Amino acid sequence: MAGSEKEFTQLINQHQGLIHKVCLMYEMDRDARSDLFQEIVLQLWKSFHTFRGEAKITTWMYRIALNTAISGLRKRKKLVPTDGLEDRHFNISENNDDISEENFAKLQFAIQQLNEVDRGLIMMALDEIPYEEIAEVIGITQNNVRVRMNRIREKLKKLMV
């Protein structure tokens, strides 16, 4: 057991960036991101003994992280929302000449408007995860990933106008 604890700790340390990306994609609030990070690590630990090595370790981690984030999001959607856009803080540059930062902020906002599964798809695509691996994580065909990615890109273009 001690060996697996050490192996798990090394795994989390090595791939914590992946978990942080998922948390950033699904939670706007710093405390909520921290809670989600802890919940994902807990779920990874609970499932660690079941990892058979049939997929890449990052594929397995993405699957658990996304499922944990999406499940939490769906549970909260059942609650009555109490915050509006005015409560959110966006990283928009004060300098009008800094177009790239403004576009990045628009992209972040547009991604937050996508449904939870589409957010996961675009996050992995932005991480340059191959469609084959995305399909494995989400549980759909590679062709379906391509179709959905095209639709997501179109949605993002419309949302960023």
Question: What is the CATH number for 3?
Answer: 1.10.1740.10
Alpha carbon 25 to its chain's center: 5
Domain boundary among 59, 82, 105: 82
Query: Whose structure tokens read 């340059």?
Result: 128
Q: pLDDT value at position 89?
A: 46
> For residue 68, what are the domain limits?
1-82
Assess whether 97 and 125 both reside in one domain.
yes
| Region of residue 53 (left: phi > 0; alpha: psi -120 to 50; beta: else) | left
pTM for this entry = 0.63
Write a three-state SS string for 3-14: HHHHHHHHHHHH
Least reliable range by pLDDT among 53-62, 88-97, 114-123: 88-97
Assess whether 2 and 77 both reside in one domain.
yes
- Helix, strand or coil, per DSSP, at residue 100: helix
Q: CATH number, domain at 140?
A: 1.10.10.10
Most confident listed range (116-120, 124-128, 150-154): 150-154
Q: pLDDT value at position 39?
A: 95
Assess whether 6 and 60 both reside in one domain.
yes
Name the CA dihedral angle for 53, 131, 20, 58, rounded to a multiple of 10 degrees: 10
Assess whether 95 and 152 both reside in one domain.
yes
Task: State how far the Cα of 110 lies from the Cα of 158, in Å rounded to an integer.
Answer: 9
Count other Cβ atoms within 10 Å, centred on residue 12.
Answer: 18
Report how many domains make up the chain. Answer: 2
Assess whether 66 and 25 both reside in one domain.
yes
Could you tell me which residue, 93 or 57, shows the higher pLDDT? 57
Assess whether 5 and 48 both reside in one domain.
yes
- Contacts of residue 103, defined as CB under 8 A and 6 or more positions apart, other chains included, come to 160
Q: pLDDT value at position 53?
A: 83
Which tokens sit at 139?
């549980």
